[in-house]
Amino acid sequence: MPKMTYREAITKALADAMRADARVVLFGEDVAVAGGVFKVTPGLYEEFGALRVRDTPISEQAFIGAALGAAITGLRPVAELMFADFIPVAMDQIVNQIAKYRYMSGGQFVVPLTIRAAQGAGAGFGTQHSQCAESWLMNMPGLKIVVPGTVADAYGLLRTAIEENNPVIVLEHKVMYNLAEEVPDVLPHVPLGVAAVRRAGRDVTIVATQLVMQRSLEAADALAAEGISVEVIDLRSMAPLDEETILASLEKTHRLLIVEEAPHAGGWGATIAALAADRGIYLLDAPVKRVNMGGALVAYSPPLEDEVVPNAKRIAQAVRDLVAE
């Protein structure tokens, strides 16, 4: 099988979608001639031209609002927010307009709009450019939210998002852009709302996403040498959330660890913990545990940044503590 990077998979997904449907257009800051600040859109301007690949002013509220207008008048826009940290600048458009437009119109309009943004820590961008945004958005009905954690999913989830007739937020992890993995010769679409079991196990279930999902797999490898069998679930989709895959795993392992690249308060892990307490309480042999960033901001200093984001060592120790309960 060929190797591809996470970055290349996103570029390919955009190009394939634009070749397949002339209604797909792309715009955002520096996505055209420059090829994107993270070099995710190179070659698209040259292939599809200035009408379909457009640079925008540095005004997130304006071009996200323009994306809504494009979506309800017949196009299938993909709007790139350079950093997910800038989502709050456009939050009124996203949560009060985009998320609600189909409902408020009584179904007269659909909103086939995809918003892409790079999120996450680990690249030394400092506290204003290193946050994960899924927990900010999960509280808003009307939005679908995906967080690809593998190269194949970076392609497959984006292709599905662009073809969806409802707004989808695709949050790409910036540290993963250089991740290279083997992929099938023909990359499939990936359905929204379906989690993936990345590693089967019998002793503990870990639920995680993106970078910390990859680190959870590292921890699971280390723990296997100690005789501890860990099942790792990659959520992939935050809304809709695949509750059944989580509960099916708990039926086997009876212990749950949630690993988040997010602060503890209001983090998406609390939703998973509530699911376990509600529908899975009789499956649990120990309290649910969470490994996350506590109450810390992401530091600019690399050692401090590394200390805040859950790593394989912290994850492995949390699993050991859980097994000992």
Positions marked active-site: 60, 129
What is the enclosing helix (H) or strand (E) of 7? helix 6-20
Distance CA 319, CA 325 (A): 10
CA distance 29 to 58: 6
- Residue 240 per-residue DSSP state: T
Do residues 14 and 170 touch, judged by C-beta distance below 8 A? no
Report how far residue 93's alpha carbon sits from residue 68's, in angstroms, rounded to the nearest whole number: 8
| DSSP assigned state of 94 | I
Collapse the DSSP code of 66 into the 3-class scheme (helix H, G, I; strand E, B; otherwise coil) and give the result.
Answer: helix
29-31-33 Cα angle (round to 5):
115
Query: What type of residue is 48?
Result: F
Q: Which two tokens stand for residue 79?
A: 């709007």
C-alpha closest to that of 241 among 134, 152, 107:
134
**CA 142 to CA 102: how far, in whole Å?**
8
Nearest-angstrom CA–CA distance, 149 and 294: 22
User: Helix, strand or coil for residue 24?
Assistant: strand
Helices (H), 131-262: 134-137, 151-163, 210-224, 243-253
Number of helical (H) and strand (E) elements in the chain, helices listed first: 12, 14
